[in-house]
Amino acid sequence: MKLYHGGNIAVSKPEILVSDRRLDFGTGFYLTTSSEQAQNWSELTVKRKGTGTPTASIYEFDNQDLSGLKCLKFPRADKEWLRFVTANRKNENIQNDYDLIIGPVANDRTMPVISLYFAGIYDEDETIKRLLPQMLRDQYVFRTELALQKLIFVKAVTK
């Protein structure tokens, strides 16, 4: 399968960089199956960093060969997913030893709903109910060097 990483430069050799940004699944190298979503991420990265060119790096990934990887998969936005994303977004100390985490992405369209959940205005059930119609895209987060070895760089495309 093809996976896409959106950034401000081409990334032929992915690395796991520690960031001060609070992301859905914590520290890792983020990819998606959606080229459109990767393009959006690349444009946001250029705006946030103020440098570079919107670039989607494309990789091949054999999702049938997860041998040796400890994986966590959220098939849908549910309470377990919401709790995990909330803990990461709030920078709570989540200890996990997953190599790869797969699940829906909380993007700019979903953040108003999640912010109301953080504020205690929505409970878990209401939050999930409001998120489901939003057609959440996916994200694959490679969290270890072992996981990164499963990616094969194909090419980079600039906008």
150: left (phi over 0), alpha (psi -120 to 50) or beta: alpha
pLDDT tens-digit series, residues 66-96: 989 999 999 988 999 989 988 888 887 677 8
pLDDT of residue 133: 60
User: Sheet of 2-7: strands edge to edge?
Assistant: 2-7, 55-61, 151-158
Find how far residue 153's CA is from the centre of its chain: 18
The number of folded domains in the chain is: 1
In a domain, 126, yes or no: no
Q: Which two tokens stand for residue 117?
A: 């959940």
In a domain, 117, yes or no: no
In a domain, 72, yes or no: yes
User: Sheet of 29-31: strands edge to edge?
Assistant: 29-31, 138-142, 100-104, 71-73
pLDDT of residue 77: 87
pLDDT of residue 152: 98
Q: Is the dihedral of CA 83, 127, 112, 71 positive or negative?
A: positive
Q: Is the pLDDT of residue 1 over 90?
A: yes
In a domain, 129, yes or no: no
In a domain, 14, yes or no: yes
pLDDT of residue 53: 97
Q: What is the arithmetic mean of pLDDT over 128-153?
A: 88
pLDDT tens-digit series, residues 11-44: 999 999 877 677 888 899 999 999 999 999 999 9
In a domain, 119, yes or no: no
Q: Is the pLDDT of residue 141 over 90?
A: yes
Q: Which two tokens stand for residue 69?
A: 């990887």
Could you list the residue range(s) of the whole structural domain that residue 57 is in? Answer: 2-106+138-158
pLDDT tens-digit series, residues 106-133: 766 777 888 898 899 999 999 888 887 6
In a domain, 150, yes or no: yes
Which residues are within 8 A (CB) of 59 and not within 5 positions of it... i.e. 6 or more apart? 2, 3, 4, 5, 14, 31, 151, 152, 153, 154
Phi/psi for 52 (5° steps) reads 90, -175
pLDDT of residue 91: 80
In a domain, 116, yes or no: no
Q: What is the arithmetic mean of pLDDT over 126-145?
A: 85
